[in-house]
Structure 1
Amino acid sequence: MTYTSKNRWIDYIVLGFSVFLVFCLIFEQYIELPSLVSWVGRWHPLVLHFPIVLLLIAIFLGLSGQKVPDLLLTAGVISALVTAVSGFFLGNGSPAKGDLLFWHQWFGAGVALLAALWYGLSQMQLDQKIYTKGVQVALVVLVVVTGHYGGMVTHGEEFLALPTERRQEKIPIDPIIYKDIVTRILDGKCVSCHNPNKQKGELVMTDLAALLKGGESGNTLVPGEPEQSELIKRLHLPKEDEGYMPPEGKTPLNEVEIAILERWIALGASDTLRFGQLEKAEPLVGYIKGLMEPDPMEKWTKLPEVADTTLQNLSSDYLTIKRIASNSDALSISAYLSPNYDSKNLTDLARVADNIVELDLSGLPIGQEEMAFVGSCSSLEWLELDKTGITDTDVGKLIELRNLRLLKVYGTAISDQSVSIFQDFPNLKSLYIWETDISEKALDALREAKPGLLIDNGMGREINAFFAATDSIKTR
C-alpha cells in the first residue's frame, strides 16, 4: 500500500477541513462565532447541492467498477467539507437547536468525513477494495438520511410523509383559547418557519414563552397591546411589503384568524383563559363559535333547491328571507308584526319549510296554525319564539325538530311541563327562558339531564361545564 497523491496541497486542504470539522463538532458548545463568520453559514443552502450531485456521480462510477476521475472525487470531497463547515456556522447562529437540526448537522458531517476517508483510500490506490465499496454504500445512505432531515428542517416534519387526508382535531367543548385556538392558527400558518429547527428571524412560535421572548425584530407579542405587537403589525402590512407575514408562497392568515390573535392579545395573551370565561359581548366569542363548526355549508348541501324568484315572491315588508350564504339553499327568515297581521304570511312559507334553518317569530301573536308550520321545518336549527303567546302545548309541537340547537322562549307563559320536551331535543345547546313560569326545581332537573345545555334564565350567564357548546349558527 503506497500513498501516491500528486497534489499534496489538496491533501492538506482535505485533512485541514476534516480536522476543523471534527473540532467544531466536539467543542461546539464552547464556540461563539463572529457575526461575519455566521453570515458565511448562510451560504450553506446554496453550496449543499454541489457535493450531493458530485458524490453521487462518483459513487455510481465506483460501484459500477469504473475509474472515478480524481478531479470529480476531489471536487466532491472538498465541496462536502465546505458544506458541512458552513452548515455548522449556520447552526451555531441559532439560539437553540431542535432535534431535526441537530441530526441534520451530524449526518451532514458524517457525509463529509466519510467522503474524506474515501479520498484518502483513493490516494492509496485502494479504490477497488471491498471496504472502499462499503464506504461508498454508506455514503449513499448518509446522503439520503441527511437530505431527509434537511428537508424536514426546511419544510416541516411531514415534508416527505405520504399524502393522506388530514383531519384537523376537533375543538374541545370548552377550549383553552391559547392551547386549542391560537396554537391551531400558528401551527397552520407560522410554525413551519418559526420552530426550533428553523428559526426565521430568530423567532420561535411553538410555545408562549418563546413568543413572549420575541425575535430579532423586537416585541413579537405584547400582552394587552396588539397594536404594539410585531406579530400583528406584520399581519397588517401590505402584501407587497417585504416585512409582510407570512412571506410570498405561504398561505396568509384570513381576517377571522387575525382578529382572533388580536383579541387574544388584547385580553392579556393568557395560556389559561377558557372560552367559557369570556363575556357574551366579547367579539372573540363569535369568532371561536365559527371555528367550532368549520364548514356548516356542508350539512346543507342536501337541502332542496329554491329559486331566487320564489324567495322574492314570498318576501314582504314584514317578512325578510335571506340565504345563509350566497350559494346556499339554507334560509334565514325574520318576521315582523304588521298592522294587519295574518297567519297566512307565515303558513305560505310551507313550500320552503325544509330549507328554513333560522326562524325569528319573536313578538308575533302566533297561534296553532303558525306552530304547526314551525313544527314542519325539519331543518330548523335556530328558533326565536320569545314574547309570543305560546304555551306548553305549543312547545310540544316542536318535538320533531331534531336539529334544533338554539331556542328562545323567554317572556312566554310556558311552565315546568315544557322541561320534558327540552330534554328530548338531542342537539339543543342554548335555551333562553327568563320571564317564564318554569321553576328553579325544574331547571335543576334539566341541568342534570342535559349538562351541556346553556340555560339563560336571566340570572346571569350559566356555563354548566361548557358554555362553548353554544356554537350558534345565527348570522346577522
Structure 2
Amino acid sequence: MTLFILLQATSPKPSEWALFFGHFHPLIVHLPIGFLLIAGLLELDRVTRRQTVSSHTITLILFWSAVSATMACIFGYLLSLAGGYEEETLNLHMWEGIGVAVFSWVAWAIKHERIGPKIRFGPLFYYPALGVGIILLLAAGHEGGSLTHGSDFLTQHTPEPFRSMAGIPPREEAEEAAKPIEDVNQAMVYQQIVHPILKSRCIQCHNPEKSKADLRLDSPEMIKKGSEDGAILVAGKANQSKLVKVCLLPEEDDHHMPPKGKTQLTENQIALLTWWINEGAPFDKKVAELKVSDAIKPALAALGTGGGAVGGETVAAGPAPESPVLTMKLPAADPKAIEELKKAGLLVLPLSKEQNQLEVSAVNARSFNDAQAASLPKLSQQIVWLKLGDTEVSDATLAQVAKLKNLQKLHLEQTKVTDAGLKNLKNLPYLEYLNLYGTEVTDAGLKELAGIKNLKTVYLWQTKVTDAGVAELKKAMPGLEINMGLAETSIAAFVKADSAKADKAK
C-alpha cells in the first residue's frame, strides 16, 4: 500500500533530501495499517464479547496510528515529487490517505480520557470515525497498489470462471516474448520482437498509469518522445542510447534498469534491443528488411518455433551446447577451503549443488591480491567460474589459476595482468571465456592465447592489442569470438561481468 502522494504539476526538480526521505514512505506506510486494524479488531472484540480491553490501550494504539498515518502522508508527498504517476489515481489516493490520517486523529481525540469528554456528542462519532478510517485505509491501499503495479494489480491473476462472473476481460499472456515466431525472417521487428521484450521487463513501470521519469514504453510514439531527461534512443547508435545503457550499468547502481530485485533482461534480449537500435530503431520493418549479422542470428533463431533460416543461413534455435564441465560430477568441496576464501572477502556460490561446481567472485573484495590467491588451488576441481575483475591480482595469481583444471570462465578485467601471466593459461582444458578488458595485454599476449584450444570468447576492450594482432589470433583460431568494444554480442556479455563499467568507458 502507498498512502498519500501529492501532484507535482509544475514543481521544480526535488532535492536529494526530499527524495531520500520520500523513499522511506513504503516502510512507514505499513505502520498505520497495522495500528488501525488492531484498534478496530480490539473494539469489535470488546463490543461483541464484552472483553475488558483497557481503554488506555486502544487510545495508545489510535495515537500511533494517527502519527504514523501523518508521517506516511508527508513522506508520500516527498516521494510524489519524483513524478511518473497517473494523475487521476494519484488524486484519489491522496485524499484517501489524508482521510485515514484525519479520521485516525478524530477517533483518538474522542477516545482520549481527557480530550474526549470535552467533545460534544463525541461518543456518537467514535465508531463512525473509526469505521470510515478503516474503509479509507483499504481504499487507499488499493489505489496505492494501482499506482505502483498498475490498475489490474488485484485482478490480473483472477482465474476462470470468476473473471467472467466479475466481468473482467480475458487475461493477456504475461510473457509475450515467450511466444514462438513461425517465420522469423517475416516477423515485424518492433511488434513481434522488441515490444514483447519491453512488455515483459519494462512497461510495468513505464505505462499510461505509471510513468517513472516521465517515460512510457508502451507505444512507438511514447518511445520516440523519451523521458524527462530527453531521448532514450539514438538511431544507429545503441551504445549512446539510454535504453541500452541503463541495462548495462552494475545492478547495484541506482540508475540500472530494471531495478535490482526485478527480473532482469537476458543476454539475448539485450542483444536484440541493441541490434534493433543499431539498425535505425525502425517500427515498421521486418527482420528480412534489416541487416542480420552473424552475431545476432542465434538470438533471432531462438525466437522461432525451431531451427531455421535466419538471414539466409540455417541456425539452430535454443542455447549453445553446454560445456562438458558444467555437467560432470565433481567431488564435494572442502568446507574449510570455502571458508578460507570467504574470509578473504570472496563470494563462493554453488552453480550446481548436485554436481559441486562453484563460482568464486571478488565483486565485494576489490583488495584481493596475489598472496590471497594462494588459497584458490584448494578448490582446484570445484571452481568453474572465477571472477577477479577490478582487484589487485597480477601475473602471480595466474600461476595459481593454472591449477584450476575445470575452469570454464575467467574474469580478469581491470587487473594488473600482462602478457607474461597469460602463459599460465595454456593448460586449462575447459577454458572457454576470458575477459581481459582494461589490462596491459598486447599482441604478444595474444600469441599465448592461441594455445588454449577450447577458448571461444575473449574480450580485449581497452587493451594494448592492435588490429594486426587480432587478425593473427583470428587466423590461428578461426572459431574464436574476439570482442574489441561494445558490439552487439559484447553488450550482452558485459552485462554479466561484475566489474564491467560501460558508462565510464564511453
Q: TM-score, normalised by structure 1?
A: 0.48
Q: TM-score, normalised by structure 2?
A: 0.45
